[in-house]
Amino acid sequence: MTGAGQDLLSAEGESRDASGNLRLGDIGLHLRDRIAQYFKREKIPFVLRYFDPSYIIRSRPADAEDSILCDQFARNAVHAAMAGKTGLVIGLMHDAFTHVPIERLADAKKRVDPGGDLWHAVLATTGQPAQFG
């Protein structure tokens, strides 16, 4: 799970992708290792199983609805490009495809209320438990 907890990870071994962007460290692996170190240091027997959540998220094959939606996003992106539009991404709002300026994506953080309808819809759709543990 990259992104979260970057302030806890060491900058040692920092790497960049082909575009020069910083590759984020994996907080899941960091936490796994820290937990194991603690129990070993305290001489407490334990069994720790770590499952990479990105594997679970990406393990579900696309269905026909996913394929159609991806095709629609792609077609709208091509139409925007052919019209000479740049600096935007294609969005979907109220069943209409929109052109969203990239600057708008970076000017505020979007937050999802874990008690709200959107998150409950995500849980229902993906079959994820409300809490892990």
Whether 34 and 78 share a structural domain: no
- pLDDT single digits (tens) 25-54: 777 777 888 889 999 999 998 888 777 766
Q: Give the Å distances, CA to CA, from 117 to 78, 122, 123, 132.
A: 33, 9, 10, 19
Tokens standing for residue 76? 């709208």
Q: What is the mean pLDDT of the chain?
A: 81
- How far apart CA 123 and CA 120 sit, in angstroms, is 5
Q: Give me the domain span that covers residue 2.
A: 1-59
Determine the straight-line distance between the first and last CA of the chain, rounded to whole angstroms: 16
Question: Is residue 133 included in any domain, yes or no?
Answer: no
- Give the separation between CA 31 and CA 16, rounded to whole angstroms: 22
pTM, to two decimals: 0.43
Residues 19 and 74 in one domain: no
Q: What is the enclosing helix (H) or strand (E) of 40?
A: helix 27-41
- Do 73 and 44 have their domain in common? no
Q: Kindly state whether residues 19 and 43 are assigned to the same domain.
A: yes
Q: CA torsion 17→57→74→22, rounded to 10°? A: -20
Residue that terminates a domain, selected from 15, 31, 59 = 59
Residues 66 and 27 in one domain: no
Average pLDDT of span 3-23? 70
